[in-house]
């Protein structure tokens, strides 16, 4: 049997259908989307169509989808862009006693965590909210951390190491109530200036701050990702987590003014990627670009668009959205089967994050789920994760110890230590993650290899 890949939370192979969709744009349709000639217009059409397809899949307007080079870049744009814009419009100031505050959870992806730390070195106040033993954010402490200088709250939708799914809509409600209860005078902006800069107010008349961002890169494959239903202003998604190409991601950037437009208004953007209404003017007070230049992506992310990868991203999004419920149910059965059989081999093994000792079904919470169906993070007592991962790789099974973005670091997983694990215990945990190609035959073969590795 071929090598068995059980690390789909790290990355996924490109779906053959995605690859077929991409191929023409590597050589045949190669024009620059900003060019006015026919070659450029062909590329622009592909870009427009892809943007519209992704927007439709998540239930937003096409202008609210901003393409980036990765989910990491999208997260950087969210955090740095909000801080820069808040300072630019005097909502906050590094030099004065109204430093911008960002609230994150203790188990954010490294691209959010390290960006926040970098901003902290620049004078931004960072507040990290603890999680419980299952990885759920302490909502009371999050609510207590909100103050008049909070410009952004960034909470990961589904954790990439332990699979915990945060109650994003509940957090959005907390932020909404907070906004309703504060005065716009917090920003030291006169009423006259507010009238002249309505971007600081949403259609309900409440302040836009704090802005709510979620990293949905790991969630998109299995969870509904409609920003309006979740209540988020910014949302990150990634192609390579959903069987698309590496090197492309997107940031949803809410245009609250869309809420006040007529539902029947035409939203097609044919030929408007570099002309027409300036989207940046609609989100002033919300986000500043961190890469400047030619003004692509409605002024929020300059640089010639990677059309072939964007086309592939769009195809991957459409496939993932259409197969979501079916694949979620299938993978859940695979996950439960694996866990039952693993417990027979290693009775002392424990699940991290999810319901310890059970793992039989994902806990329902309203319309959402509390844990992703494809991730199992397992504690193997008295067994080094590094040894087990290396041994399994030798035997032909690929697994990991945590985030692929931070795996080579000597430090233990910050996610596991946030759950209360000691460094030693965190170093004895292995993540198994399943994907579309995973079948029962692969699980049975992997379990035999695990049994051999533990002998």
Q: Annotated catalytic sites, by residue?
A: 405
Task: Give the orientation angle of helix 110-121 with respect to helix 71-88, to 10 degrees.
Answer: 30
Rounded CA separation 399/387 (Å): 12
CA distances from 200 to 137, 279, 284 (A): 28, 16, 8
- Which residues, in sequence order, are CB contacts of 179 under 8 Å at separation 6+? 206, 207, 208, 209, 210
C-alpha angle with apex 390: 389 to 394, nearest 5 degrees? 115
User: How far apart (Å, rounded) are the C-alpha atoms in residues 438 and 5?
Assistant: 8
d(CA 225, CA 388): 35
**DSSP 8-class letter at 414:** H
**CA-based radius of gyration for the chain:** 23
DSSP string, 78-100: HHHHHHHHHHHTTS--SSSS---
Residue for token pair 């072939």: 308
**Which one, of 225, 300, 243, lies nearest residue 435 by Cα?**
243
| Total Cβ atoms within 10 A of residue 377 | 28
User: How far apart are alpha carbons 328 and 21 in whole angstroms?
Assistant: 25
Residues paired with residue 237 on neighbouring β-strands, in sequence order? 250
**E strand residue ranges, 187-266:** 211-215, 234-238, 249-253
Give the strand order in the sheet containing 429-433.
350-351, 375-379, 429-433
Residue listed under structure tokens 């793992």 = 359
Q: How far apart, in whole angstroms, are the C-alpha atoms of residue 455 and residue 448?
A: 11
- Cβ contact 73:99 at 8 Å: no
Between β-strands 375-379 and 429-433, what pairing exists: parallel, antiparallel or unpaired? antiparallel
């Amino acid at each position: 049997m071929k090598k068995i890949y059980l690390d789909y939370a790290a990355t996924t192979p490109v779906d053959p259908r995605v690859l077929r969709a991409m191929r023409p744009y590597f050589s045949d349709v190669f024009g620059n989307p900003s060019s006015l000639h026919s070659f450029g217009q062909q590329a622009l059409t592909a870009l427009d169509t892809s943007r519209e397809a992704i927007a439709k899949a998540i239930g937003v307007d096409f202008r609210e989808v901003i393409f980036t080079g990765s989910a990491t870049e999208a997260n950087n744009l969210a955090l740095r862009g909000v801080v820069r814009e808040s300072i630019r419009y005097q909502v906050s100031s590094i030099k004065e006693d109204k430093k911008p505050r960002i609230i994150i959870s203790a188990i954010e992806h490294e691209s959010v965590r390290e960006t926040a730390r970098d901003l902290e070195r620049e004078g931004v106040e960072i507040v990290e909210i603890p999680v419980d033993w299952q990885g759920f954010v302490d909502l009371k402490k999050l609510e207590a951390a909100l103050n008049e200088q909070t410009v952004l709250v960034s909470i990961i939708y589904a954790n990439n190491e332990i699979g915990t799914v945060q109650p994003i809509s509940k957090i959005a409600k907390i932020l909404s109530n907070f906004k309703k209860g504060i005065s716009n005078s917090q920003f030291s902006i006169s009423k006259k200036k507010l009238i002249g800069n309505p971007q600081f107010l949403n259609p309900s008349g409440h302040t836009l701050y704090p802005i709510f961002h979620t990293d949905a890169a790991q969630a998109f494959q299995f969870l509904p990702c409609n920003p309006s239903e979740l209540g988020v202003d910014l949302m990150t998604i990634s192609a390579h987590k959903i069987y698309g190409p590496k090197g492309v991601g997107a940031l949803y950037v809410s245009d609250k003014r869309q809420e006040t437009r007529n539902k029947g208004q035409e939203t097609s953007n044919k030929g408007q990627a570099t002309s027409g209404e300036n989207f940046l003017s609609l989100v002033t007070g919300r986000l500043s670009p961190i890469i400047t230049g030619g003004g692509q992506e409605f002024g929020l992310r300059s640089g010639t668009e990677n059309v072939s990868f964007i086309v592939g991203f769009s195809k991957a999004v459409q496939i993932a959205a259409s197969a979501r419920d079916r694949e979620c149910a299938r993978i859940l059965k695979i996950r439960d089967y694996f866990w039952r059989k693993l417990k027979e081999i290693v009775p002392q093994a424990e699940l991290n994050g999810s319901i310890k000792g059970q793992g039989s079904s994902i806990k329902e919470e309203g319309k959402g789920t509390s844990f992703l169906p494809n991730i199992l993070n397992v504690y193997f007592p008295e067994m080094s994760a590094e040894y087990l991962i290396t041994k399994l790789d030798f035997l032909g099974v690929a697994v990991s110890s945590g985030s692929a973005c931070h795996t080579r670091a000597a430090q233990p997983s910050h996610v596991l230590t946030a759950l209360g694990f000691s460094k030693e215990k965190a170093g004895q945990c292995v993540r198994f993650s399943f994907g579309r190609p995973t079948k029962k035959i692969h699980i049975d073969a992997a379990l035999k290899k695990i049994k051999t590795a533990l002998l």
